[in-house]
Structure 1
Amino acid sequence: MSDFETAQRLWAPWRMEFIRAPQESGCFLCRIAGGPAHDAENHVVGRRGTALLLLNRFPYTGGHLMAAPVRHVATLAELAADEMRDLMELVCRGQRLLAGVMRPEGFNVGINEGAAAGAGLKDHLHVHVVPRWEGDTNFMPAVGGARVVPQALADTCAALRAEWERIGN
């Protein structure tokens, strides 16, 4: 038997909403980036200069964050120096926030540039910051032995925003 046949399955039924949803016109990150008045309802944890940090609405694990530049660019190579700095500062801040709130034992930090690389949103660069725990193997759906950390996005967002305020800028 292959590893795929014997692997435990990660059941993440909330992802069906994402899979079945009609493709929205335009870029959801651009809509969110342009509307800071709606940050709480869009699960934006915080902003820094030219970038924002938000929860993934369709996470594989609780606390799955995405950092993205405000400007609509597809690749790291297109970023200006200040955009790169702000983006990477938010990636690091996201790790600190998750460490303070969720106490993960590790992180996956990754970028998928383009559809061939697995990007679900191929035209607006974003960096995934995924908290991990020993024994959890659920970053990729093809990997077995998964566990899901259940917590409502609004609750996770509120906790991370409180931690943002606690640790300051």
Structure 2
Amino acid sequence: MVAVNDEVGGGEVGGDRTGGDPFEGIEHSSDFAAVPDAFQRLWTPHRLVYIQDGQQPEESDCPFCLAPKMADEKALIVARGTHAYVLLNLFPYNSGHLLVCPYRHIATYDEATPEEIAEIGSLTQVAMRVLTEVSHCDGFNIGMNQGRVAGAGIAEHLHQHIVPRWALDSNFFPIIARTKAVPRLLGEVRREVADGWPKDEN
């Protein structure tokens, strides 16, 4: 079931709902008792997978614990620090989508030591500089989803997202088609970011 507002881009959505409706099965806001507001909404029920039970790996299978034991190319690691490391997201929102993870298997930011917090912060700063240099991005989304209810895909191992953004890089494709167009291969991006990482920062 998908819900839409009455107007998207100024036009009626839903077609002829008296019969032969090509949008049959789509909820329409005019079908409910409510007073419309000024906001448009895109409903994304497929994201429920991030907050339902049974979606978390066992600690022995945690990808953020296993990655540092692998070769950098295999694990998509671009830099290793003393308390934390940086790797590419295997399922990126954009090319160059990085994750900063502590080596320790901790779930939330308040469990991190001062040393881990400091290194996560410094690695984030370096990552921003490197991505700006090698990919010429215009901005970033940076943040942590804490817990399954907040949308963390791997909720039991703390990780910070660094998503490079470019002007006009957003469209409806990921929501409507459940597909994200990522124009560059992971291995290529990993090499570029790793090569651009300051050697004295490792």
Q: Structure 1 length as normaliser, TM-score?
A: 0.78
Q: How many Å separate the matches in 1 of 2:170 and 2:183?
A: 15
2:112 to 79, 91, 98: 79
Q: How many Å separate the matches in 2 of 1:77 and 1:143?
A: 36
Specify the code of the residue in structure 2 equivalent to 1:119: A
Secondary structure at 1:123's aligned position in 2?
Answer: coil
Alignment deviations for residues 85-141 of structure 1 (CA, whole Å, 9 cap, x no partner) = 111111111111111110100000010000100000000000000000111226xx5
Query: Does 1:137 find its partner at 2:178?
Result: no
1:53 to 86, 98, 102: 86
Counterparts in 2 of 1:85 and 1:23: CA distance versus 1, 3 Å: closer
Q: Which has the larger radius of gyration?
A: 2
Gaps of 5+ in 2: 6-39, 44-54
Query: Does 1:30 find its partner at 2:96?
Result: no
Query: Does 1:164 find its partner at 2:178?
Result: no
Gaps of 5+ in 1: 8-21
Specify the code of the residue in structure 2 equivalent to 1:158: R
Q: 1:91: which partner in 2?
A: 124
The number of aligned residues is 149
Q: Structure 2 length as normaliser, TM-score?
A: 0.66
1:126 to 148, 159, 179: 159
Tell me the CA shift for residue 24 of structure 1.
5.1
Q: How many Å separate the matches in 2 of 1:89 and 1:71?
A: 17
* Contact 2:86/2:99 (<8 A) preserved: yes
Q: How many Å separate the matches in 2 of 1:42 and 1:57?
A: 9
Secondary structure at 2:137's aligned position in 1?
Answer: coil
Q: 2:9: which partner in 1?
A: none
Note the aligned Cα RMSD (angstroms): 2.7
Among the aligned pairs, what percent are the same residue?
Answer: 35
Tell me the CA shift for residue 4 of structure 1.
4.8
